[in-house]
């Protein structure tokens, strides 16, 4: 699992690559600090190469979403696969995020 | 009917093994990839619960998963010798709440219940035994 963070203008993008299972999420929870620090901006969570997510991974997404709500930023979840969309739908996460595909 | 077993220590770093375990079952039962992912997810949540709650932090314990593959259903029997813990009694997440109001936890058991068709718990011979069943459609012919 890898998170690639880049910044351009007022937008910070985090590309999640691989499987966000419980042990991976423990590591990633440290990597997302720049996103939490910039939660007043637009945060794009690029999920094109995110192949799996468990509740621990969802917790990371929710943490980012809560930070943005608190600091007045915006979160866009980009290019989720059908499998991840299914998990988002099941857990009500589709209602919590602006999801953009394509 | 075939059976497969997986036994591992209560260490969260063992979780990725589940992916290989489910992959082998998916191949044997000719499951589509989407169902395989859902089963992987349900098993991860159930096993994570055991690792986090059944054994005191730092103590060693074993988690055993038995998978029974039938034509019409898959059955996963998860057992451990930890403290009595019934995940079916655990408080479930409210997935209709807004982001601001959603608690960070509680999604694990919710996912298990939603993915599996039957989830039952019993305490037997000092063990927690969680049985999860998934019905399979028999329209392969």
Residue range B57-75, pLDDT digits in tens: 778 899 999 999 999 999 9
Percentage of residues in chain A having pLDDT higher than 90? 96
| Residues facing B27 on adjacent strands | none
- CB nearest B107 (choices: A26, A58, A63): A58
**Lowest mean pLDDT across A12-16, B41-45, B88-92, B110-114:** B88-92
Helix residue spans in B3-141 (DSSP H): 17-28, 33-49, 107-115
Q: Which ipTM was obtained for this model?
A: 0.94
B interface residues, A as partner, C-beta within 8 Å: 12-13, 15-16, 19, 33-34, 37-38, 40-41, 44-45, 48, 93, 95-100, 102, 104-105, 107-108, 110-111, 114-115
For A2-100, the fitting CATH number among 3.30.428.10, 3.30.750.24, 3.40.1280.10, 1.20.810.10 is 3.30.750.24
**Strand pairing category for B2-9 and B62-69:** antiparallel
**Lowest mean pLDDT across A38-52, B5-19, B60-74, B93-107:** B93-107
Backbone φ and ψ of A79, nearest 5°: 55, 55
The confidence score (pLDDT) of residue B139 equals 55
pLDDT exceeds cutoff 90 at A13: yes
- Rg over alpha carbons for chain B, rounded to the nearest Å, is 15
SS percent in chain A: helix, strand, coil, step 5: 45, 35, 25
Question: Which domains does chain B show, CATH number per domain?
Answer: 2-135 (3.30.565.10)
List chain A domain ranges. Answer: 2-100
Helix residue spans in chain B (DSSP H): 17-28, 33-49, 107-115
pLDDT exceeds cutoff 70 at B19: yes
Q: Which residues contact A72 (CB under 8 A, 6 or more apart)?
A: A40
């Amino acid at each position: 699992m890898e998170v690639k963070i880049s910044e351009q203008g007022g937008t910070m993008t985090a590309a999640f690559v691989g499987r966000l299972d419980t042990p991976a999420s423990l590591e990633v929870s440290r990597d997302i600090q720049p996103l939490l620090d910039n939660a007043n901006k637009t945060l794009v969570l690029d999920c094109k190469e995110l192949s799996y997510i468990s509740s621990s991974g969802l917790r990371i997404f929710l943490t980012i979403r809560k930070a943005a709500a608190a600091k007045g930023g915006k979160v866009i979840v980009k290019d989720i696969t059908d499998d991840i969309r299914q998990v988002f739908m099941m857990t009500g996460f589709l209602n919590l995020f602006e999801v953009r595909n394509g | 009917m075939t059976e497969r077993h997986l036994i591992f220590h209560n260490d969260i770093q063992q979780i990725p093994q589940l992916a290989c375990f489910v992959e082998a079952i998916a191949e044997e039962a000719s499951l589509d990839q989407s169902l395989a992912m859902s089963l992987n997810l349900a098993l991860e949540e159930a096993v994570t619960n055991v690792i986090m709650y059944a054994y005191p932090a730092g103590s060693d314990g074993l988690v055993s998963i038995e998978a029974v593959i039938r034509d019409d259903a898959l059955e996963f029997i998860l057992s451990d010798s930890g403290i009595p813990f019934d995940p079916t009694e655990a408080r479930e997440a409210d997935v209709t709440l807004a982001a601001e109001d959603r608690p960070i936890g509680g999604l694990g058991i919710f996912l298990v219940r939603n993915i599996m068709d039957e989830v039952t718990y019993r305490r037997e011979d000092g063990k927690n035994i969680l049985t999860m069943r998934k019905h399979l459609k028999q329209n392969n012919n």
